[in-house]
Amino acid sequence: MLLVLGRRLANVVPTMLAVVALVFLLFSVLPGSFISGMNEDGRSTIDPAVMERMRKEMGLDDPLLERFAKYVGHTAMGDLGTSFRTREPVTKMLSTRIWPSLKLVLAAMTFAILVGVTLGFLAALRPGSWIDTASMVGAISGLSLSQFWFGLMLMYLFALKLQWLPSFGYGDGGLRHIILPAVALGVGPMALLARTTRAAVLDVLNADFVRTARSKGMSERRVVEWHVLRNALVLVITIVGLQFGSLMGQAVVVEKLFAWPGVGSLMVDSVFQRDMPTVQGCILMIVLFFLAINTLVDLAYVVIDPRIRYR
Amino acid sequence: MRKLAWLAAAIAVVGAGAAEAQQTPRKGGTIRMTAPYAASFGSLDPHSTPRAQDDIVNKAIHRTLYNWDTAAGKLVLELAKSVSASADGLTYTYKLRDDAYFHNGRKMTADDLIYSYTRLMDGSKGYPGARYARLIKGAVDVEKGQAKEISGLKKIDDFTLEMTITDRVDPGYYFFAGSTAILPKEEVEKGNFASAPVGLGPFKFKEHIPGSRVVTERFDKFYKPGKPYLDRLDVMIMAEAAARDVAFRNKEIDTSILGPAQYVAYRADPQLSKGILEVAEMFTRAMTMNHESIKPFQDKRVRQAIAYAIDADLIIKRLVKDKAYRATSWLPPASAAFDKTVKPYPFDPEKAKKLLAEAGYPNGFEFELTTSQNESWGLPIVEAIIPMLAKVGIKLKPKLVEVTVLTEIAMKGDHQAYIGSNLTGPDSLATLRCYYSKTPRTACNYTGFKNPAFDKLLDDAAQEGDMAKRDDLLKKANNLLYDEAPVWFFNYNKAVMAYQPWVHGLQANPTEITHQYPEDIWVDASSPAK
C-alpha cells in the first residue's frame, strides 16, 4: 500500500511541472493580454501610459524564460503569485473558491453514484426488463445532454414552474442551492456509471466463479453480494475515480450558469481576462485534485481486490 | 421618423420617472440587483479597477467628487457644495461637503481628496484612474517619482480644496469615474481594503462571496437627508443571460439586463413589458477602417460608399432586434454636442456604386474585417454586411478573434478594419480626440484619420472657455466626422434593464445603465425580499 502511495506521489511532481510549463507556454503565445481584456467589450477604456505602468508592475515586460523561472520558483514555495485583476494573492482567491467547488463536485458525484450505480445494477440483474430498457434510455440521454441546456431545463422546471428550489446562486451554501447545479453536473457521470455498472455486473454474472458459486447452492442474494458486487466494483471505481477527478474541471459551465462561486467560474473569467496567475493557480488546483483522486482510486483497488499489486 | 420615435420613447421614460417621483418612497426593504458582465468582480478597491462590472457595487459603497445627473443630463458636484473657477479656467476652488462621513465614522476632509488623487499617481502601480488624475498640475511629477505631493492640489482648510489643472477642460469629466473615488487613508493602509472596503456611499459593505454576490447595508450617516431608503442592497453576479431570465421571472432578482433575445420576449409579454427601462448608452458601435493599411479607405467617397451600401436599419431590426439606435456619427445622443438634426446615411446601393466609380474603384476592392462573436456588433452583423457590400463590388473577408484581442489589434494597427463597441462619452472633447491627427494610435486613433479642418475645430474647442460655444464647435466637428465617415457608424447601444413592479427610483443612466444611484431606489411593500 505504501509502495503504491509512494510511486503515485513521485509522479505528481513531474506531472505538475509539465502542466505548469504547458499552461505558461500556451498563455504566452495566446493573443490578447490582461490589459486589453480590461476593455470589457468596449465598456471601459484604459490609456497607454497606465497600460505601460501595469505591464511593468506585473512584470509582463520581463523575458519569458525569466518569468517562467520565477513562477516555478515561487510555486515550489507555495506562492502562486498575485492576480492581475484583483491584485490579491492567488492562493487567497483559491481558498475562497475551493470549498464551494468541492461541495458541488461531491454532491454531483454522490448523485451520480447513488442513481447511476443503482440503475446499472438493477438493469443488469433484470436484462431485457422494462427497468433495463428505461435505465439505459436514461443513460444514453444523460450522456448526450448538454450541461447548459439541462441546467436551464432544471431551473425552468424546479425553480420557475414548481417553485421548489432557487434557480441560482450560493445562498447560505446549504442543500437547497446545491441540488440543481449538482444534478446538472452529475447527470453525465450518472449516465456513464449506469452503463458501466450494467456492463460490469453482466460480465461478472456470466463468469465461471459465479456459476461455481451458484452450483454450490449459494443463494442468489449471497452470490450477488459476495461475488458479483465486489468484482464489478473494480471497473465501477475506475470510472468513479476518473469522473470524480475530472468533474472539477468540467464544472465550468454549470458554475457559470448557476452563478456558483467555484474554481471553474473563477478560471473561465480569468481566461477571458487573461489573468494568467489566476488561471495557472486554478489549473494547478484542478490537476492536483485529479491526481489526488486517482491516487485514492489506486489505493482503493488494492483494498477491494487483493490480487492487485503494483510492482 | 425612426429617430423621432425613439426620442419620443426616451421622453416617455423620463416622463414616467417624473410621475413616479411623485410617489412617497417607502423606507426599508432589500433590492437584489445583478452584475451581468462577468462571473466575478475584479476588485472592491475602486482605484484598482476601471470595470463597469465593479462599479455596480462601487456606486453603492463609494463616492466621487462629481456624479452624473441623469435627469439633468450633465455632471454635477457630489462631494462638494460649490465650485468656482479662475478666469483662466485652470484653477478650481471646491467647497467640500462638511457632512460626508466614511463608513468608519470619520468625517471626510480635503486631505482625503488629496490622499486619494495622490494614491492614483503612485508610479509603482498601474491605477486606472491615473489617466484622470494626470490632469492635475504636478500629478505627473508624482507618477515619475520626482515629487511626493501633487503641487496642483492645495488644502485651504478642512473643507476647501484648490485644484489647478493643466488643460482647459471641465474637471467633472475626469473626477466622476468610479476609479477616482475618495477613500480613507487609514482604511486603505490596513492592507485588506479590497476585502473590506470603506467608503462615503449610501451603503456600507457587509459581505462578499467571490463569484456569487456582494451584500451591503444602509449607512445611516449618509449625507443626503432621509436617504438611502433601502435597508439592504445585494448585487448578484449573473453572467448568463438565460439564467438571469429564469431568476427574474422567478422573482429571485429585482433587476436584470436584457440581451436582444430577452428584449423581444419581454416586450411581447403584457406583464414584463411594464417594467422595462431603456436608454441610449454612450457606446457607439462602428466598423473602424484603418486608413493607413488599405488605400481605398483614404478616399472619403469610398468610406461614404460603404455607409450607403449597408442597410443598417434592416440589420438593427432583424438581427439586433431593435435593441440599438441607429448611429449618425461618433457622439451619442446623450452628448451635449450631439446634433439631433443630422440624419444617418440612407441605404442607397446605386449611390454607393457611383461613389466607388468616382473614386476609381468601379469593380470594388477587397478587405479583411476583424470581428468578435458579439451578437450585437460582431460576427452576425458582419455576416449580414458581406452580401450588401458584395452587391456594390466590395469583397469582405471576416476574421474572427476573441473580444479580448480586439483592443490589442486596434492599438497595434494589425487590422484593415474591425467592428467593435466604443465608449463615446460623456466628455465629447476627449471622445472626438480619437480622430485628432496628433492622437497616437495607442490612445484610440485607430483609423489614422487626418483632417486639418477637424483638428482646428478641436483646437478651438479646447481653447474655448464658454461651454456652450465649446459644444457648438464640437457639434461641428462631429458633423464633419459624419460627412467624412472615417468609420461606418452602425448603432448606439440601447441598454435595457428589466425591473420588478415593486422597484422604484431607477434611472436611465446613459453612461452605463447598470450604474444606478442606490440612494434613490426604493421598493414597495409587495417586494418578496425582506
B243 and A152: CB-CB below 8 Å? yes
Provide the shortest C-alpha distance from residue A18 to chain B (in Å). Answer: 27
C-alpha cell at B280: 441610449
Between CA B298 and CA B294 the distance in angstroms is 7
Nearest CA in chain A to B215: A171
Residue A2 contacts B, CB cutoff 8 Å = no
Residue A59 contacts B, CB cutoff 8 Å = no
Domain ranges of chain A: 2-81, 97-309
Query: Chain A contacts of B48, Cβ < 8 Å?
Result: 86-87
DSSP per-residue codes, A174-206: -HHHHHHHHHHHHHHHHHHHHHHHHHHHHHHHT
Q: What distances in angstroms separate CA B146 from CA B118, B128, B152, B469, one per listed residue? A: 13, 20, 14, 38
A169 and B52: CB-CB below 8 Å? no
Nearest CA in chain B to A40: B51
Between CA A99 and CA A75 the distance in angstroms is 21
Q: What distances in angstroms separate CA B205 from CA A211, B57, B215, B223, B312, one per listed residue? A: 69, 9, 7, 17, 45
Q: What distances in angstroms separate CA A14 from CA A71, A287, A291, B305, B419, one per listed residue? A: 16, 12, 12, 60, 44
B240 and A256: CB-CB below 8 Å? yes
Q: What's the number of CA atoms in the CB half-sphere (13 Å) around residue B64?
A: 27
B126 and A57: CB-CB below 8 Å? yes
Query: Chain A contacts of B194, Cβ < 8 Å?
Result: 86-88
A 165-224 residues with CB below 8 A of B? 166-170
Tell me which DSSP letter residue B438 carries: T
Nearest CA in chain A to B281: A43
Nearest-CB residue to A50 (from B131, B285, B402): B131
Inter-residue contact A305 to A237 (CB < 8 Å)? no
Which residues are paired to B496 by β-bridges? B278
A40 and B53: CB-CB below 8 Å? yes
Inter-residue contact B408 to A31 (CB < 8 Å)? yes
B39 and A259: CB-CB below 8 Å? yes
Provide the shortest C-alpha distance from residue B144 to chain A (in Å). Answer: 11
Three-class DSSP category at B282: strand
Mean pLDDT for all residues in chain A: 86
Q: Which of A8, A11, A9 is nearest to A19 (CA)?
A: A11
Q: Is B449 exposed, middle or buried (0-12, 13-18, 19+ CB in 10 A)?
A: buried
Provide the shortest C-alpha distance from residue A41 to chain B (in Å). Answer: 6
What is the structure's pLDDT at A85? 84
Q: Is the peptide bond before B228 cis (omega within 30 degrees of 0)?
A: yes
B126 and A58: CB-CB below 8 Å? yes
Q: Which of B215, B207, B211 is nearest to A169 (CA)?
A: B211
Residue A99 contacts B, CB cutoff 8 Å = no
Supply the CATH classification number for the domain A97-309.
1.10.3720.10
Residue A146 contacts B, CB cutoff 8 Å = no
Residue A48 contacts B, CB cutoff 8 Å = yes
Between CA A283 and CA B394 the distance in angstroms is 45
**What residues have CB less than 8 Å from A300, skipping those under 6 apart?**
A237, A241
What is the structure's pLDDT at B8? 44
Query: Chain A contacts of B235, Cβ < 8 Å?
Result: none
Query: Chain B contacts of A103, Cβ < 8 Å?
Result: none
Q: Which of A34, A40, A96, A163 to mutate to test the interface with B (most CBs of B within 10 A)?
A: A40
Structure-model confidence comparison of residues B112 and A220, the more confident one: B112
What is the structure's pLDDT at A239? 86
Between CA A169 and CA B211 the distance in angstroms is 9
Q: Which of B397, B396, B394 is nearest to B363 (CA)?
A: B394
Query: Chain B contacts of A104, Cβ < 8 Å?
Result: none
Q: Which of B250, B438, B446 to mutate to test the interface with A (most CBs of A within 10 A)?
A: B250
Q: What distances in angstroms separate CA A131 from CA A52, A121, A126, one per listed residue? A: 65, 10, 7
What is the structure's pLDDT at B221? 97
Number of A/B CB contacts below 8 angstroms equals 185
What is the structure's pLDDT at A40? 57
Provide the shortest C-alpha distance from residue A256 to chain B (in Å). Answer: 6
A41 and B402: CB-CB below 8 Å? no
Residue A46 contacts B, CB cutoff 8 Å = yes
Residue A155 contacts B, CB cutoff 8 Å = yes
Q: How much of chain A is helix, strand and coil, in % rounded to 5?
A: 75, 0, 25
Inter-residue contact A180 to A148 (CB < 8 Å)? no
Nearest CA in chain A to B401: A31
Nearest CA in chain A to B208: A96
Nearest CA in chain B to A37: B404
Name the pLDDT band for A67 (thresholds 50, 70, 90). Answer: confident
C-alpha cell at B345: 446615411
Averaged pLDDT, A226-235: 82
Between CA B526 and CA B249 the distance in angstroms is 15
Tell me which DSSP letter residue B101 carries: B
State pLDDT tens for residues A69-88.
888 888 888 899 889 888 88
Query: Chain B contacts of A58, Cβ < 8 Å?
Result: 126
Query: Chain A contacts of B212, Cβ < 8 Å?
Result: 169-170, 259-261
Query: Chain A contacts of B249, Cβ < 8 Å?
Result: 160
Query: Chain A contacts of B237, Cβ < 8 Å?
Result: 259
For residue B1, the tally of other CB atoms under 10 A from its CB is 5
Its ipTM equals 0.84
C-alpha cell at B344: 444617418
Query: Chain A contacts of B38, Cβ < 8 Å?
Result: 40, 269, 272-273
What is the structure's pLDDT at A186? 95
Query: Chain A contacts of B40, Cβ < 8 Å?
Result: 261, 265-266, 269
Walk along chain B (530 residues) and give the pLDDT tens digit of each residue: 444 444 444 444 444 444 454 578 999 999 999 999 888 898 999 998 888 899 999 999 999 999 999 988 889 999 999 999 999 999 999 999 999 999 999 999 999 999 999 999 998 888 889 989 999 999 999 998 899 999 999 999 999 999 999 988 899 999 999 999 999 999 999 989 999 999 999 999 999 999 999 999 999 999 999 999 999 999 999 999 999 999 999 999 999 999 999 999 999 999 999 999 999 999 999 999 999 989 999 999 999 999 999 999 999 999 999 999 999 999 999 998 999 999 999 999 999 999 999 999 999 999 999 999 998 899 999 999 999 999 999 999 999 998 878 888 888 888 999 999 998 989 999 999 999 999 988 888 999 999 999 999 999 999 888 889 999 999 999 999 999 999 999 999 999 999 999 999 999 999 999 999 999 999 999 999 97
Between CA A153 and CA A165 the distance in angstroms is 13
A43 and B39: CB-CB below 8 Å? no
Averaged pLDDT, A124-132: 88
Between CA B479 and CA B342 the distance in angstroms is 8
Between CA A68 and CA A57 the distance in angstroms is 16
Tell me which DSSP letter residue B26 carries: P
Between CA A257 and CA B241 the distance in angstroms is 9
